[in-house]
Amino acid sequence: MPARLSVNINKIATLRNARGGNNPDLVQVALDCERFGAQGITVHPRPDERHIRYADVYALKEVISTEFNIEGNPREQKFVDLVLATLPDQVTLVPDSENQLTSNHGWDTISHQAYLREVIRTFKDAGIRVSIFVDPETSMIEGAAQTGTDRIELYTEAYASAYHTGREAAVAPYVLAARKATALGIGINAGHDLDLHNLAYLNQQIPALAEVSIGHALVCDALYFGLENTIQLYLKQLRESL
């Protein structure tokens, strides 16, 4: 089974918000992503609602028929309430600060272990699969196993930025982290800065990869290739790299 493609639609909301109206229509874009083959939709609402608004999450929950994944920092009670009210298929916990441009590190699963265990229990009790964002370090994967999380999402920025100068070295820590996660019974997602150049190799090197969430590059590619072709191109990378 190739890893599943979840399209992060934050950038669509950013574009919509630039003019204050409803163009592009976020819900329609999500439905079209599904129609074009995406196997999931990801949103990352931030407390200031600068791209995805809380109301968007409720509207999307009504219509999405593939996997709905909500990302965010559970230190915000508003976020926890939103997730428990909308019951997505998966919640991805990310330790970003309020005004951070984008996520830039994984959890310290050792120093935050007790906290993570508690918050993960809350979501799992509500029937939501939980994934936590981590850097590809063995100690962080071992720590993650102690939190009760179902999955980890490997933070792939370091892989993506080193890919063109030496992909073997770039992927090596991710392969080790993935092996450790599999040995500990944890599922593996990946995301951040994945694109049409670096996706296939990551997928090939990590056979246990369950899901990738991709936003920025996919939306940029859609400017040139169109959304339907772009989603098909990403799916092809995942299929043909096995």
For residue 8, the minimal CB distance to ligand PXP (Å) is 5
Q: Is 137 known to be catalytic?
A: no
Binning the chain into helix, strand and coil, the percentages to the nearest 5 are 50, 15, 35
Query: Which is closer to ligand PXP, CB of 180 or CB of 192?
Result: 192
Q: Which residues pair with 7 in a beta bridge?
A: 41, 214
For residue 219, the minimal CB distance to ligand PXP (Å) is 8
Q: Which residues contact 155 (CB under 8 A, 6 or more apart)?
A: 103, 105, 106, 133, 134, 135, 136, 191, 192
Q: How many whole angstroms separate alpha carbon 222 and alpha carbon 33?
A: 11
Residues that bind ligand PXP (CB under 6 A): 8, 10, 44, 71, 92, 94, 102-103, 133, 153, 191-194, 213-217
Q: Is 44 known to be catalytic?
A: yes
Total number of residues shown for the chain: 242
Q: Is 192 known to be catalytic?
A: yes
Of these residues, 34, 51, 67, 71, which one is catalytic?
71
Question: Tell me, what amino acid is at 23?
Answer: N
Place of tokens 């996997």: 67
Q: Which residues pair with 91 in a beta bridge?
A: 70, 130
Q: Which residues pair with 134 in a beta bridge?
A: 154
Q: Nearest Cα to 50, choosing from 6, 19, 17, 82?
A: 17
For residue 195, the minimal CB distance to ligand PXP (Å) is 8
Query: Which is closer to ligand PXP, CB of 88 or CB of 191?
Result: 191
Of these residues, 34, 44, 67, 211, which one is catalytic?
44
Of these residues, 34, 51, 153, 192, which one is catalytic?
192
Backbone φ and ψ for 49, nearest 5 degrees, come out as 55, 35
For residue 19, the minimal CB distance to ligand PXP (Å) is 21
Query: Which is closer to ligand PXP, CB of 161 or CB of 183?
Result: 161
Q: How many whole angstroms separate alpha carbon 50 and alpha carbon 76?
A: 15
Query: Which is closer to ligand PXP, CB of 171 or CB of 183?
Result: 171
Query: Which is closer to ligand PXP, CB of 21 or CB of 227?
Result: 227
For residue 172, the minimal CB distance to ligand PXP (Å) is 21
Q: Nearest Cα to 194, choosing from 173, 172, 170?
A: 170
Q: Which residues are the active-site residues?
A: 44, 71, 192
